[in-house]
Structure 1
């Protein structure tokens, strides 16, 4: 039976980078065939930002933008904005704490494309804010090609985000995502047509977005709300409520206290008789 490589105490969590390196060393000894990979991606670096830069370059480098050039761009972002590393640490913790299939930090860092795509978007967002929009859009394009995750570089995303599986996620330019949000594959945060300006959803803190959920338009999804899998939401959802169905209806208010952390996708048996 597989066991997690560490147990995290939420009150006093160990440093993410130290834990990641320790895990990488342990895996290198156990899986010699992966020792070179773990050395190049994790163990040869002194800081998490440097390892992230290498990983992004390794994944997205191509004939148009060579890996070394991409690595320099990512490193510039991490050196210039320390919040990017802090957010990456919080994202890694979120994966470990919320994904029962995750046995440590090495797995998401090396293999989970939801986590990796999110880190690419964070670098692309830094470029966008620096006025380097064309390069930011290039990273978005490569992210979509490699990970099947399409997040506009202008999207504002908080920390502690868990992107599970990742495949088919689409998030528009003016979307805003609060801290501690969890989302599964096939989520769309999009517009309702060809309107311009502020046209995408605003997702509050601690929201859970189920697989295939579609939230469309410049609407607010309140803190700690839950959007059930396969739902189509076109109107605001109050804080602490669950919306489900096509079109979405409120099915319980309040929902569970922290749905994004508990990953509780269950629904109440009593459904309100109005459409949101």
Structure 2
């Protein structure tokens, strides 16, 4: 859906909930029903979430307004992330709840502002917001990292993504995942995660390694080497345990590991 269509749906969802749960009516009016556009409401929500005594929400709201006005593609990306979350997270049952209550989604949209600032050589402001995002959401994504669209950050607590990491489209990442370096090396030192990869909870992917398209990383694994496309790895250190059963594991969210006997 485009921004206008999805905003109609979100407003309808919020209006029904406001009638059903009267104690939330004022909250929903403040955060959704008073706005005509999705980008305005999302920017205001994140501004309030990330505000501090050093940066009041009004200042952050201006930043988000500039961001979405100058980079309308990021509004479409925010919608793609919203749809990905609804499709893949069984706990997500409607759009307005994802937008208002799921911190993985919120942290991802905050990162996108930080990345825009970083690309515009506004690095101090990007770092300031990254620091605040880490405090508020428990998520640490370097502003220089490159993250595609249709991303699910499920729970997201203790997620770390390093400076030179790349995450392509339609990837699903669970909590306590690290896309990090291996030590004090400089330069291009973080993982490259290709399309449609599923990364299980607690996995650590370290160094400038490539996780091939459609691969699956088992929960708790430590990955130090490249993973071929459409293969599953698990263990410490991670080893290949089979081919993936799905072309796009990130969409199915099936974390079962194939037995070695099925390896072809």
TM-score by length of 2: 0.96
- Stretches of structure 2 that go unaligned for 5 or more consecutive residues are none
Q: Secondary structure at the match of 1:57?
A: helix
String of CA shifts for 1:32-51, please: whole Å, max 9, x gaps.
11111111111111111111
Match of 2:223 in 1: 233
What does residue range 49-60 of structure 1 map to in structure 2 within 5 Å? 49-60=39-50
User: Are 1:15 and 2:5 an aligned pair?
Assistant: yes
Match of 2:16 in 1: 26
Match of 1:265 in 2: 255
Change (3 A) 1:272 1:97: closer
Match of 1:101 in 2: 91
Flag as ranges the 4+ runs of structure 1 deviating above 4 A. none
Within 2, Cα distance between the matches of 1:15 and 1:185? Answer: 31
Within 1, Cα distance between the matches of 2:100 and 2:20? Answer: 16
Contact 2:243-2:258 at 8 Å conserved across structures: no
Shift of 1:271: 6.3
RMSD, matched Cα = 1.6
Q: How many residues get paired?
A: 262
Contact 2:244-2:258 at 8 Å conserved across structures: no
User: Are 1:37 and 2:24 an aligned pair?
Assistant: no
User: Are 1:148 and 2:158 an aligned pair?
Assistant: no
- Stretches of structure 1 that go unaligned for 5 or more consecutive residues are 1-9
Which of the pair is proportionally richer in helix?
2
Q: Secondary structure at the match of 1:215?
A: strand
Within 2, Cα distance between the matches of 1:191 and 1:16? Answer: 38
Within 1, Cα distance between the matches of 2:74 and 2:222? Answer: 32
Q: For 1:92, which of 82, 85, 100 is the aligned residue?
A: 82
TM-score by length of 1: 0.92
